[in-house]
């Protein structure tokens, strides 16, 4: 064969014959679809969760790399070939190289493969047959295990970067430690007021929740397509760019290329793998998010593990010293202790999930599945006993160099973790935590009870601060994506949690729709009615209401009903849900009032979804579906 691309060489050299032929024929089909149907957008998107991709491409060394070589780029849950451009010369070259390689491999063995290897997925039928175990030759299995081990080694080396003292110092300097500590202490005090038994929850657990929220809402930014460096316009993907030496120095072996729709400038988007560099750029997709967040966790003193899902996602685990277990933390989702999020929430077909730290590598797949049997049927890349021996050997080597006390602690944790793994989790429809028990304090801290510590014991009342008295204006607004209130005329004071500023809350919770990427407040699923109230009191200030402007966004479906009312001691005004601020003069002259929303109605099992408050995109941090301006005199 003539000189060919390195990705095609990798596909040929690193895999057995059957794996190569199966993967190459799929790749050939993807390329031919684009060449033969250049104007049909459906052939330019490949869903990563497609079983064919998961089972026949992702486990094969070089297959994904060939797609990137052709010009496909990561696009959330898809690989996408950029629209509005014809098939590239590189795509055609890779396609021809694959076609030639397939013919050569087949001719060298007298025709199509007749070995023992069988396809990983049966052909569709009316009743899908049970998945069969792949029978590989010893040589093919050894090759697959070498490839698997190289991936383990690479990640064990990478996580050592989180231990660099200079990077931890830099990360700590960027984290608002005083603010997060204050929030954690306030949250923990509220938990103690709501539930006397907080022995299973510590202040550090509350700090972790605050750190996650800060990282998601204030520090890091999700990037689908970067904005133009010059005019800040939107851009479209035009394929891949060559990595510069500086890119490679920061671990960016892949650089995506975009074109600005407004000024036509080319915009490069290096996919940095160096966590120190990510502290500067503060943007990316799940890989960058988990990479940088794990460093931040180590910088503030948490024991943290970088978690790699073989079906293409990454996140972090943090060890809770109070709960004595590892907590799942996904910074992209601001999700803590929700391990079934991916299998039950996203519908991912998990195979291998491994956690890496300076101390260990652990197969933690069992934490993230509620169906061990199905997951085991998909774990065919390596022998189970081989993977167990590798993890144990590496764990043992790491712990040979630690103190006796530390080794005993690690052994104890390992035993606790194994006990957790052998207990199959049950799906929890409300939060996908996979836990049927848990202290009230921990569920309160994560906002999963439909009421808050504050609302349970001490109703919150808005009273004017000195700056609000001086401005004769109390201006408060709430962003549901951040789950955060802002007192605008009190120095933009922030308060986390929708329940934190309520005077009353009955049967409400905050719902995140991960598939639709939306968030809103809704009533608890089992209950037909719900209500929440905000109270404002100006009696002690000597001020009274001059005018009111209110925005309360709500949505109803089927026969769902949301009713709003604003009441003083002797008068009420009926309000309508609206996206904009509307003036309300009915209560002018009063010195206290309460704003209340009542939710009811809806049809069927999803009746609770037919009444929604403050619905917005989960990354919309700049609009406020709840806003109240009270002008005083």
Residues 463 and 479 grouped into a single domain: yes
The mean pLDDT of 455-465, rounded to a whole number, is: 74
Residue 381 lies in a domain: yes
Are residue 252 and residue 292 in the same domain, yes or no? no
pLDDT given at position 445: 57
Three-class HEC string of 85-145: CCCCHHHHHHHHHHHHHHHHHHHCCCCCCCCCCCCCCCCCCCCCCCCCCCCCCHHHHHHHH
Q: Specify if 390 maps to a domain.
A: yes
* Average pLDDT score over the chain: 84
Using DSSP's 3-state secondary structure scheme, residue 431 falls into coil
Lowest-pLDDT choice from 285-294, 345-354, 363-372: 345-354
For residue 261, which of 238, 283, 242, 284 has the smallest C-alpha distance? Answer: 238
Q: Is residue 510 part of a domain?
A: yes
**Exposure string (b/e) for 133-172, b if CB count within 10 Å is 16 or more?**
ebebeeebbebbbebbeeebeebbebbebbeeeebbebbe
**CA gap 384, 27 in Å, rounded:** 29
What percent of the chain is predicted at pLDDT more than 90? 45
Question: What's residue 418's pLDDT?
Answer: 84
pLDDT at 470: 93
Residue 611 belongs to domain with CATH number = 2.60.120.1020
CA distance 267 to 241: 10
Predicted pLDDT at 237:
87
Q: What is the pLDDT of residues 28-76, one digit of tens each?
A: 999 888 888 888 888 888 887 787 887 788 778 888 888 888 888 877 6
- For the cut 70, the answer to whether the pLDDT of residue 335 exceeds it is yes
Q: What is the pLDDT of residue 174?
A: 98
Residue 464 lies in a domain: yes
Considering the domain boundaries, does residue 145 fall inside one?
no
Q: Are 328 and 340 in contact (CB under 8 A)?
A: no
Residue ranges making up the domain that contains 71: 6-114
Among candidates 486, 495, 464, 502, which has minimal Cα distance to 595? Answer: 502
pTM of the model: 0.64
Q: For residues 327-349, give the mean pLDDT.
A: 89
Measure the CA–CA gap between 425 and 402, rounded to whole angstroms: 33
Neighbouring-strand partners of residue 534? 595
474, β-bridge pairs: 630
Tally the domains of the chain: 4
Spatial separation of the C-alpha atoms in residues 248 and 420, rounded to whole Å: 40
Considering 422, 439, 461, which residue would you say is the last residue of a domain?
A: 422
Instruction: Show the tokens assigned to 525.
Output: 């699923």
Tell whether 501 and 394 lie within a shared domain. no
**pLDDT grade, residue 512 (50/70/90)?**
confident
Residues 174 and 312 in one domain: yes
Cβ proximity of 255 and 240 under 8 Å: yes
- Same domain (yes/no): 322, 192: yes
- Using 50, 70 and 90 to split pLDDT, how confident is the model at 548? very high
Question: Does residue 79 have a pLDDT over 50?
Answer: yes
Q: Say which residue the tokens 């260990």 belong to.
A: 360
Mean pLDDT value of segment 532-543: 93
Residue 146 lies inside a defined structural domain of this protein: no
| Cα 432 from Cα 482, distance rounded (Å) | 20
Residues 34 and 75 in one domain: yes
Q: How confident is the model at residue 499 (pLDDT cuts 50, 70, 90)?
A: confident
Residues 561 and 454 in one domain: yes
Q: Return the percentage of the chain with pLDDT > 70, whole number.
A: 88
The CATH number linked to 184 is: 3.10.620.30
Q: Are residues 260 and 371 in the same domain?
A: no
**What pLDDT is stored for residue 554 in this prediction?**
92
* 209 within domain boundaries: yes
The answer on 392 and 310 residing in a single domain is yes
Task: Name the residue with higher pLDDT: 158 or 344.
Answer: 158
| C-alpha closest to that of 5 among 62, 86, 81, 82 | 62
- What pLDDT digit, counting tens, does each position of 112-170 carry? 333 333 222 222 222 333 344 456 677 788 888 999 999 999 999 999 999 999 999 99
Q: Are residues 181 and 318 in the same domain?
A: yes
Residues 48 and 91 in one domain: yes
Of residues 440 and 463, more confidence is placed in 463
pLDDT tens-digit series, residues 174-203:
999 999 999 899 888 877 776 555 567 889
CATH number at residue 29: 1.20.58.2190
Q: Which residues are catalytic?
A: 286, 313, 330
With respect to residue 141, please indicate whether it lies within any of the assigned structural domains: no
| Residues 573, 520 share a domain | yes
- Does the structure show a pLDDT above 80 at 88? no
State the pLDDT confidence band at 458, using cuts at 50, 70 and 90.
Answer: low
pLDDT of residue 118: 28
Name the pLDDT band for 91 (thresholds 50, 70, 90): confident
């Amino acid at each position: 064969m003539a000189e060919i691309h390195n990705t095609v060489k990798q596909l040929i050299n690193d895999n057995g014959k059957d794996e190569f032929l199966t993967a190459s024929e799929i790749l050939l089909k993807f390329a031919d679809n684009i060449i033969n149907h250049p104007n049909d957008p459906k052939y330019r998107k490949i869903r990563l969760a497609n079983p064919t991709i998961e089972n026949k491409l992702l486990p094969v060394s070089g297959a994904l790399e060939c797609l990137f070589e052709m010009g496909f780029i990561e696009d959330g849950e898809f690989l996408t070939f950029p629209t509005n451009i014809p098939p590239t010369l590189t795509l055609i070259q890779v396609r021809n190289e694959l076609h030639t390689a397939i013919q050569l491999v087949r001719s060298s063995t007298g025709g199509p493969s007749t070995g023992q290897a069988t396809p990983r997925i049966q052909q569709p039928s009316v009743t899908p047959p049970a998945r069969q175990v792949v029978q590989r030759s010893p040589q093919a299995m050894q090759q697959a295990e070498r490839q698997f081990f190289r991936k383990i080694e690479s990640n064990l080396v990478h996580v050592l970067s989180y231990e660099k003292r200079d990077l931890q110092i830099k990360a700590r300097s960027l984290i608002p430690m005083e603010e997060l500590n204050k929030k954690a202490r306030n949250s923990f005090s509220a938990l103690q007021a709501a539930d006397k038994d907080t022995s299973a929850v510590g202040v550090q657990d509350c700090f972790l929740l605050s750190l996650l929220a800060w990282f998601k809402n204030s520090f890091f930014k999700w990037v689908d397509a970067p904005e133009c460096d010059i005019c800040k316009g939107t851009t479209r993907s035009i394929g891949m760019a060559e990595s510069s030496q500086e890119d490679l120095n920061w671990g960016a072996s892949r650089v995506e290329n975009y074109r600005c729709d407004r000024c036509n400038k080319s915009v490069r988007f290096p996919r940095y793998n160096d966590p120190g560099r990510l502290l500067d750029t503060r943007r990316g997709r799940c890989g960058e998010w988990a990479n940088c967040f794990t460093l931040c966790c180590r910088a503030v003193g948490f024991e943290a593990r970088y978690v790699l899902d073989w079906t293409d996602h990454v996140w972090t685990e943090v060890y809770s010293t109070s709960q004595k277990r590892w907590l799942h933390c996904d910074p992209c989702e601001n999700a803590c202790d929700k391990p079934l999020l991916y299998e039950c929430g996203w519908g991912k077909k998990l195979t291998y999930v491994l956690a890496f730290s300076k101390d260990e590598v652990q197969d933690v797949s069992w934490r993230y599945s509620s169906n061990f049997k199905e997951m085991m049927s998909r774990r065919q890349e390596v022998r189970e006993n081989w993977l167990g021996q590798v993890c144990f050997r590496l764990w043992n080597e790491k712990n040979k160099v630690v103190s006796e006390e530390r080794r005993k602690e690690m052994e104890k944790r390992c035993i606790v973790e194994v006990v957790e793994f052998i207990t199959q989790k049950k799906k929890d429809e409300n939060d996908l935590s996979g836990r049927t028990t848990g202290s009230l304090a921990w569920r309160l801290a994560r906002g999963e009870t439909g009421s808050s510590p504050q609302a349970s014991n001490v109703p919150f009342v808005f009273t004017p601060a000195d700056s609000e008295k001086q401005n004769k204006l109390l201006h408060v607004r709430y962003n549901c994506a951040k789950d955060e209130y802002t007192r605008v005329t009190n120095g933009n004071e922030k308060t986390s949690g929708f329940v934190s500023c309520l005077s009353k809350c009955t049967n409400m919770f905050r719902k995140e729709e991960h598939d639709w990427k939306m968030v809103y407040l809704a009533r608890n699923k089992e209950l037909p009615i719900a209500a929440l109230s905000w109270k404002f009191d100006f009696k002690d200030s000597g001020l009274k209401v001059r005018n009111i402007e209110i925005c309360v966004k709500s949505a109803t479906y089927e026969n769902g009903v949301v009713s709003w009312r604003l009441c003083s001691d002797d008068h009420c005004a009926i309000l309508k849900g609206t996206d904009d601020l509307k003036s309300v003069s009915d209560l002018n002259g009063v010195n206290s009032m309460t704003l209340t929303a009542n939710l009811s109605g809806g049809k069927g099992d999803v009746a609770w979804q037919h009444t929604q408050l403050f619905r917005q995109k989960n990354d919309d941090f700049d609009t406020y579906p709840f806003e109240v301006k009270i002008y005083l005199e």
